[in-house]
């Protein structure tokens, strides 16, 4: 079962991060959260950007873990597939959450 988890974990974490960021976006817009942080950036942008960064970092951590001898599978096949799905998770996190940095949030 650990091998199945190795294969599924990165996309699963992406799905959780994606849902969480979308939920955070809903909370920001639904509750009218606004204001400025440090006079440089708006609070919503900071929150969304922070969540984006965290999601990407998680994926990077998973890739590193799945390449480490301690966490990778003894089976070469599972090692390959789990690392491939880890890259799917990272690319998905970088691409699908990119709008947190570049679009308007509540319009």
Partner 1 sequence: MNMLQRHRRLTEIWSSEPGARGLFSTVNHTDLGRMFLAVSFFFFLVGGVLAMLIRAQLATPHSAFAGPEIYNQIFTMHGTIMMFLFAIPTFEGLAMYLLPKMLGTRDLAFPRLSAYGFWCYVFGGTMLLVSMVLGIAPDGGWFMYPPLTGPIYSPGINTDFWLIGITFVEISAIAAAVEITVSILKYRAPGMSLDKMPIFAWYALVTALMILTGFPPLILGSILLELERAFGLPFFQAEFGGDSLLWQHLFWLFGHPEVYIIFLPAAGVISTILPVMCRTTLLGYGWIVASATGLAFLSFGIWVHHMFTTGIPHMGLAFFSAASTLVAVPTGVQLFAWIGTMWKGRPSLRMPMLHLLGFFFTFVIGGLTGVMVAVVPFDWQAHDTAFITAHLHYVLFGGFVFPILAGLYYWMPHVSGRARFFRLGELAFALVFIGFHVTFLAMHWVGLLGQRRRISTYLPEDGWTTVNLISSIGSFVLAIGIAMVIVDLVLHAFTARRSRRDPWQAGTLEWAMMTPPPAYNFASLPHVDSRQPLADDPGLTLRLARGEGYLSEPERGWRESLTVEVATGKPDFHIIYPTNTRLPILMAAVTGVFFVSLLLKFYWTVPLAVVGVTILAWRWAWSLGRTTDLPPRSIGRGLTLPNATQVSRSPSWWGSALLLTANATFFGSLLFGFAFLWTVAPSWPPPAWLTSSAPELALGLIGAGLGVVAIRRAARANRKGQDARPWLGLTFVAALGVGAAAGGVVLRAPTPGDHAYGATLLVLGSYALFHAVLAALMAAFLTARVVRGFTSPSRQAEFPVVTLWVDYLAGASTLILVVAHLPGLLA
Residues making contact with partner 1 (CB under 8 A)? 1-4, 7-8, 11-12, 14-15, 18-19, 21-23, 25-27, 29-31, 48, 73, 75-78, 80-81, 84-85, 88-89, 91-92, 95-100, 102-107
Q: Of the candidates 90, 86, 93, which has an alpha carbon nearest to the alpha carbon of residue 5? A: 86
CA angle 80, 15, 18 (to 5 degrees): 130
CB atoms within 10 A of CB 13: 19
Q: How far is the CB of 104 from partner 1 (least distance, A)?
A: 5
Q: How far is the CB of 36 from partner 1 (least distance, A)?
A: 18
| Least distance in angstroms from the C-beta of 47 to partner 1 | 12
**Could you give the CA distance from residue 27 to residue 11 in angstroms, rounded to a whole number?**
24
Residue closer to partner 1 by CB (options 56, 96) is: 96
SS3 37: strand
């Amino acid at each position: 079962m650990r091998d199945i988890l190795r294969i599924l974990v990165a996309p699963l974490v992406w799905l959780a991060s994606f849902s969480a960021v979308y939920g955070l976006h809903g909370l920001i817009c639904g509750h009218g959260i606004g204001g400025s942080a440090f006079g440089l950036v708006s609070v919503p942008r900071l929150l969304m950007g922070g969540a984006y960064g965290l999601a990407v970092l998680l994926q990077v951590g998973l890739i590193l873990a799945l390449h480490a001898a301690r966490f990778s599978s003894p089976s070469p096949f599972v090692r390959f597939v789990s690392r491939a799905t880890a890259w799917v998770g990272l690319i998905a996190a970088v691409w699908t959450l990119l709008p947190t940095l570049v679009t308007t949030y509540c319009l």
